[in-house]
A and B are shown apart, each in its own frame.
Chain A
């Protein structure tokens, strides 16, 4: 089954703890993206990676970090420096050869208590 996997769907953490969200894809797409969505709002870009071992900051990168050691994986770490980490986090890939057609995972809802 081709697609994007984000796990877990719901995640709870205590304030001050770092947490890593997983994103795995078997679509063989080069580009991957992380977005954040707050209730009633659109998506905001956190980080993106066009190719393995390379990534760039998006519009709201502060308090987040990423790595791209493998084509299939693009984990996002929410650090304790992120002031309002509770949100819905979405991972996406861009179809190779397409400029703006993105495929999204099911998302992880992070709640920091």
Chain B
């Protein structure tokens, strides 16, 4: 799996957009970008994923650069409840039989949303 690099921590004001970057310069053609988040002392929560086109759902938007070497997760109107650790994961859709779902969670970005 391609390695990802994320900033250790970021701050955001409540109501403003939170833009979380992720570098994945060694990503290969069959690898998707996944984002999860983990609120303190809870299990991680799936947010969004994409291959090369920008994606949007009810939680967030994912912008992937044309060369696919980096991406940005956007929370359009951050709230205090969005304070969490955000994980960027790169993973092939097909990694062979029993390898499905073997995700590697790094240390992620600690996002703090303040009033």
Given A42-B105, A99-B101, A107 contacting B46 (CB threshold 8 A): no
Closest to B94 in A: A99
List, in ascending order, chain A residues with CB within 8 A of B41's CB.
88, 107, 109
State which of A35, A44, A45, A100 has its C-beta within 8 Å of the C-beta of B32: A100
What is the count of residue pairs linking A and B with beta-carbon distances less than 8 angstroms?
Answer: 70
CB distance from A41 to the nearest CB of B (A): 7
List, in ascending order, chain B residues with CB within 8 A of A33's CB.
101
Q: Please state if A105 and B43 are interface contacts (CB–CB under 8 Å).
A: yes
Interface size of B by CB at 8 A reads 26
State which of A35, A41, A90, A100 has its C-beta within 8 Å of the C-beta of B91: A100
Q: Please state if A107 and B100 are interface contacts (CB–CB under 8 Å).
A: no
Closest to A93 in B: B101
Interface residues of A in 89-111 (CB under 8 A from B): 90-92, 94, 99-107, 109
Closest to A55 in B: B98
List, in ascending order, chain A residues with CB within 8 A of B42's CB.
104, 106-107
Q: Please state if B100 and A50 are interface contacts (CB–CB under 8 Å).
A: yes
List, in ascending order, chain B residues with CB within 8 A of A91's CB.
43
Q: List the interface of chain B (C-beta within 8 A of A).
A: 32, 34, 36, 41-46, 49, 87, 89, 91, 93-95, 98, 100-108
Q: List the interface of chain A (C-beta within 8 A of B).
A: 4, 31, 33, 35, 40-45, 48, 50, 56, 58, 88, 90-92, 94, 99-107, 109
